[in-house]
Chain A
Amino acid sequence: MIKFGKGNLRVPQWSRRVFMVAGGCTPFRKYFPEYKLEELVMMGYKMMLEDNDLKMSPKEIKDSIQYCAYGEFADHFQDQLLCEAKIHDYLGLDPLWNNGIKTGGATGGAAVLNGAMAVASGYADTVLVCGWERMDEVDTRTGNFYISTAACKDFETRMGRIYSSYYAPMANRFAEAYNLSEVTRAKVAVKNRGYAMSNPNAQQPGHHTVDEVLASRMSAYPLRFLECCAMTAGSASVLLCNEEMAYKLSDHPVELFMAGGTHTLRVADRRHMEIPLLPNEPEGMYDELLADSGRWPGFESFLAARFAAYLAYRMAGVHEPLEELDLVELHDAFTISDIQTYGDIGLRPYGQEPDYIESGDAYFGGKCPSNLSGGLLGTMHAVGATGIWQAAEVLWQIQGKYDKFHGEDKWWQRAGKQKPADWKSLQVPDAKQGLWISHAGVGSHVTCGILRKAW
């Protein structure tokens, strides 16, 4: 069994508090030929500057930025190296330093963490975190192949050339180990695609039934098409600040706590590890489970997500996630990876993940609803933007602005859509604290961010 070094388990201590004050994004589409990439980035960035009730003009805020963290998943998709330089110039932010961040599907989360480190360290007081992806230059199967080059090219990529085939074996294993039914898996797709109906920016919203999900085309058994996220073109931005700037800019700033974890890119290379215990998990609570399965995280769980939560909960002083979090946004690229994460971040103990769905806790009105934004399944996965957009959705919930950003006609018009007559608000009443997970590879990189009301 692999044990972690004591030094490796140190909880991050930021030198200064970090706040998030604003977010913006584009509508999300499979094909977005009306705009060039930098034009899409400008659209989300301007929304962040202009529509978040900030107490300074867009020009004054632009003049206050000192650093930018840019998220882009794959140069393959953009067909452009050093896209960061083009975007940065287009946003008129030279000569400020910027870093291009790449950690697969967790790129957006990693960009937020990078921006937060810049604020926490004192490098900057005001930081733009911005991400994008344009996955519409190639056909879907070529896109699937590009993404599969984020599996090991020597030992895995040729085995499927599509990422669903690296998650699907975990789904079969999880089903046997923890008694997960196909119906519970399908319920995740029904829930998140259903919530996407309220989101004007959603790429694939829909009121589906469990039967429809299970009858949809097979990608890699047992994962059906409706259980997999789409490829998207779009961008997202958030603004991070130190304490002084946060209150200067906003009457409703939100404090950020955040950490990340990693694990082998090849699931095959996972060896048996000790389980880093969350603050509410007593020593020895998983002895029985480990005696059965013989290895952790095996194909069932994600060490990267567990480690990120292990650190982030301690940074934020969260003891009982289900009680203390008012909502979560999880990386539901596939129904199964969403469910696997429930155990990693303590929404349920390991082995009881399906109960988070079956109990109703995961639904709007439940104890700790997840992916009210529509998630990756319903709304978007413009990979470099995803973890940033998720953060913005949590921010807006805590600021009480769900209706403003999802219900106002302006956003439906911008997206070229008619607001549905049965549009439903998914504002969590009095939301004070939320969490979002950004996830890469088959659990290779995961960030865990916690946002807390700070006014």
Chain B
Amino acid sequence: MTKPYEGPLATQFIGTPSEIYDESGDFWVVDFPRSITHHHTYGLLTPFFKGLTEGKLMATKCTNPECTENSTWLPPRADCPDCYARTEWVEAPTVGKIYAYTMLDYAGIGIEMETPYWQVDVQLEGVDTIFKGWLKQGKPVTGMPVRAEFRTNNPTHTILDVCWVPIED
């Protein structure tokens, strides 16, 4: 049973004093630091992220005969937005063509690739969407053929486990 209130308490401050960041005017600006970890689920898309660690690009396809679109999705999605049927896993091709690109010079905090680097959007045969990724080497041109490379050793367990490299011919 919970103990009832038993009388007066003596309490100490056990936190960390906030630093004053700026007092250059009539105001105080004080620091509220913060460090947080989120436990994030990949849910029904977990096979996609597992697939990356096995060198596979797993997409989903709606196979419902009633569906007007039967689209193939990469990034995958578990539910078809056109007919609401559950989609099925299919392997997407690991070669494609550059659809769009940018060179990222000034990135936000926490960036995990050395900057600058090329971010690329890759069009894959049979996939209805265009797949965003990063180019490990070379310089992109619209229409340039590329193949996927997977970080199967020491994977990051994130989307960064797949990147693209130019196909030399």
Contact = CB atoms under 8 A, between A and B. Distances in A.
A141 B107 CA distance: 7
A268 interface: yes
A323 to B, nearest CB: 34
Contacts of B119: 159-160, 165, 168-169, 220
A331 to B, nearest CB: 20
Contacts of B142: 172-173, 176
Contacts of A219: 105-106
Given A269-B129, A299-B99, A79 B32 contact: yes
Range class of the B interface residue count: 35 or more
Interface string B106-121: 1111111000100101
Interface in B110-139: 110-112, 116, 119, 121, 128-134
Given A152-B75, A165-B119, A2 B69 contact: yes
Given A169-B121, A173-B99, A269-B75, A217 B106 contact: yes
A220 B100 CA distance: 13
Interface in A188-235: 217-223, 225
Contacts of A158: 112, 158-160
A34 B119 CA distance: 40
Contacts of B25: 33-34
Contacts of B71: 271
A17 interface: no
B5 interface: no
B99 A162 contact: no
A144 B32 CA distance: 19
Contact of B75 (A168, A222, A266, A270): A266
B103 interface: yes
B22 interface: yes
B28 to A, nearest CB: 9
A154 B106 contact: no
A336 to B, nearest CB: 11
A217 B112 CA distance: 21
Interface string A125-167: 0000000000001010110110110001111101111101100
Given A2-B69, A33-B27, A271-B71, A220 B108 contact: no
A170 interface: yes
Nearest to A151: B132
Nearest to A223: B102
A34 B26 contact: yes
Contacts of B121: 169, 267-268, 299
Contacts of B69: 2, 271
B73 A156 contact: no
Contacts of A79: 32, 34
B13 interface: no
Contact of B108 (A156, A161, A169): A161
Nearest to B75: A155
B100 A169 contact: yes
A33 B22 contact: yes
A271 B110 contact: no
A33 B29 contact: yes
B99 A160 contact: no
Contacts of B75: 152, 154-155, 266, 268-269
Interface string A266-281: 1111110000000000
A161 B107 contact: yes
A144 B104 CA distance: 13
Nearest to B82: A2
B108 A155 contact: no
Given A158-B159, A170-B100, A218 B108 contact: no
B89 to A, nearest CB: 16
Given A79-B32, A155-B75, A173-B100, A218 B106 contact: yes
A268 B132 contact: yes
B132 A156 contact: yes
Nearest to A142: B109
A220 B71 CA distance: 31
A159 B158 CA distance: 11
B78 interface: no
Contacts of A172: 100-102, 142
Given A33-B27, A267-B121, 9 more contacts: A34-B25, A142-B109, A154-B42, A155-B132, A158-B112, A159-B134, A161-B111, A164-B106, A299-B100
11 contacts: A2-B69, A142-B108, A153-B40, A158-B158, A160-B119, A161-B110, A168-B104, A173-B142, A218-B103, A221-B104, A299-B130
Interface of A: 2, 33-34, 79, 137, 139, 141-142, 144-145, 147-148, 152-156, 158-162, 164-165, 168-173, 176, 217-223, 225, 266-271, 299
Q: 4 closest Cβ contacts across the A-B interface?
A: A161-B108, A168-B102, A144-B108, A169-B100
